[in-house]
Amino acid sequence: MITTQRPQQTTLFGPGTAPFSHRSAVRLSNRQLFNIELGLYLLTELQPTAPPGSLPTLLNSDLSARNTWTARQRRCLDRGRMLLGALCQCSRWTELLDRYARLASPSQAFDISHDRSQFNAKTVGFFRNRAFTFRQMLA
């Protein structure tokens, strides 16, 4: 009996010698990109001065400690918890955030500092469309 094997893939570049930079090698699915940017948008709405790594703390925190929040902010957090439940684990959020920070810049709607202490929304045209979508989802 003769067994057949798949042909081995040949590449022009060996390991570590790809023609693209490390930033362009990072890949995120559309769902992952959406979840990261929705999480960052939620942070800008509820805790604008918080570092980007604080999303799991926000999602896991008790609402009773936030007596000063409006009904809209509470509703926004509840919907964010429902949509971003998979990101309540700090390690999962940190891993996705690191991959997002290494993503090619034109794909990002947010700029994240190298030390992960702050982030800002970009002021480009496509961000307005994404922000509108995020606002509608959390409203």
Residue type, 78: D
Residue 121, H or E segment: strand 119-121
The band of 127, judged by pLDDT with boundaries at 50, 70 and 90, is low
Q: Do 101 and 49 touch, CB atoms closer than 8 A?
A: no
**Mean pLDDT computed over 92-113:** 86
Q: How much is the pLDDT for 121?
A: 82
| 8-43 pLDDT per residue, tens | 543 333 344 444 444 446 788 889 988 999 999 999
Helix (H, G, I), strand (E, B) or coil at 111: strand
Q: Do 73 and 46 touch, CB atoms closer than 8 A?
A: yes
Identify which has the larger pLDDT, 64 or 53: 53
| 81-97 pLDDT per residue, tens | 999 988 889 999 999 99
| DSSP code of residue 102 | T
